Amino acid sequence: MLDKLKVWFEKKGGNKKHAALIGMAILLVIFNVGQLYYKEHGLGNTLSQATSVHFIDVGQGDSELIVSGEQAVLIDAGPTAAADTVVQYLKKQNITHLRAVIATHPHEDHIGGMAAVLANFEVDEVVMPDSVATTKAFERMMDMIETKNIEVIHPKVNTGIILDSGAYLQFLSPDPDKTFDNVNNYSIVTMLEAGRQKVLFMGDAEKEIEDSLIHSEAVLTCDVLKVGHHGSKTSSTPEFLKRTKAKTAVISSGAGNDYGHPDPQTIQNLEDAGFTKIYNTAVDGTVVLDFEMTEQPSEPSQEEENAA
């Protein structure tokens, strides 16, 4: 294709150098379009090691553990009251080292147990939004980060964490150039791609962020949705839920909580959007989802090469 382009361009009065540059630009566009197609349809993503997502029952709060091969990532650590629950759960999974810890936003029900996690495990980096709080939970987390000299990262949209298994955790929100009146909307929204399976973690992001994601270039199609803001009616709009095309939802909430989470309207929205399985940690306890590995392309044998 590139050679034909060079010949055509020279006939039109151009030179080989310009033709090559244009050709490279065209190939780059084709490559990017292909990448978007593959991401949207879950193709070509190899998962070489056993991978699971654990939605830990921390009462009224959030904590999710991703285990992929020998690596693990923790998203939030529940409220202070559940700190020991999270630490002991990780130890039972034989976790000693965390590739990353993601503190989605500085609310106590998400970071209350974070200082205890940082104290008990080796952590490569803490990923958090550029948002602060004056709470004791936030101060304890920051003090432990300083004590253990852990790198802090404020993620950029469309960057992510690549695990050795081939699993990829992509950051979709928040835009670091925007400010929000509602701290919930600083929530780090992430998409886990594990082979051909995807899980979208919404933190406490509300309608404003859902609308922003719908109108962005983000691919929202997934298999599992960690429902935003514990199933509050401030999140999970019908349009957003339909855009995910997911069939499984997980809500993290506490039994008999004072907020009425999950809201009946949210459950109705999920059902109307086609979700066929709705888990709630308040009812189901800790939810563990396992993902299928995809086979690596095998190298052709000498006999196969000779036959070709």
Q: Which of 103, 85, 171 is nearest to 140 (CA)?
A: 103
215-235 pLDDT, tens digit per residue, is 999 999 999 999 999 999 999
- pLDDT band of residue 28 (cuts 50, 70, 90) is very low
Confidence of residue 18 (pLDDT cuts 50, 70, 90): low
CA 282 to chain centre: 22
Tokens matching residue 132 = 């602060």
d(CA 229, CA 241): 14
Domain ranges of the chain: 1-32, 51-285
pLDDT per residue over 294-305, tens digit each? 855 444 444 444
For position 292, what pLDDT does the model report?
A: 87
Instruction: Determine how many CB atoms are found less than 10 A away from the CB of residue 201.
Output: 29
Whole-angstrom Cα distance, residue 208 to residue 205? 8
Could you read off the pLDDT of 238-259 as tens digits, one per residue?
999 999 999 999 999 999 999 9
Task: Give the number of residues written for the chain.
Answer: 308
Indicate the range of 38-47, 142-151, 155-164 predicted with least confidence: 38-47
14 is written with which tokens?
Answer: 């151009």
Under the banding of pLDDT at 50, 70 and 90, the label for residue 15 is low
pLDDT for res 21: 47
Between these two residues, 149 and 4, which has the higher pLDDT value?
A: 149
Residue 224, number of CB atoms within 10 A of its CB:
24
Nearest to 202 by CA among 116, 75, 42, 113: 75
Residue 47: how many CB atoms within 10 A of its CB? Answer: 24
| pLDDT band (50, 70, 90) for residue 11 | low
> Can you tell me whether residue 190 is helix, strand or coil?
strand
The Cα 304–Cα 308 span in angstroms is 6
Residue 67 and residue 96 in contact, taking contact as beta carbons nearer than 8 Å? no
The answer to whether 50 and 69 are in contact (CB under 8 A) is: yes
On whether the CB atoms of residues 275 and 244 are closer than 8 A, the answer is: no
Per-residue confidence (pLDDT) for residue 153, from 0 to 100: 97
Distance of CA 80 to the CA centre of its chain: 23
pTM recorded for the entire structure: 0.83
Report pLDDT for 4: 45
Q: Is the pLDDT of residue 100 over 50?
A: yes
Q: Does residue 223 contact residue 53 with C-beta atoms inside 8 Å?
A: no
Query: Which residue type is seen at 64?
Result: E
Does residue 237 contact residue 202 with C-beta atoms inside 8 Å?
no
Amino acid symbol at 289:
L
Average pLDDT of the segment spanning 79-107: 98
In whole angstroms, give the CA distance from residue 39 to residue 33. 10
Which CATH architecture is the domain 51-285 placed in? 4-Layer Sandwich (3.60)
Whether 137 has a pLDDT exceeding 90, the answer reads yes
**Three-class secondary structure assignment of 257-284:** CCCCCCCHHHHHHHHHCCCCEEEEHHHH
pLDDT averaged over the chain? 87
Q: Is pLDDT at 109 greater than 70 in this prediction?
A: yes
The candidate with the shortest Cα–Cα distance to 251, out of 97, 239, 34, 271, is: 271
As a whole number of angstroms, the distance between CA 103 and CA 96 comes to: 19
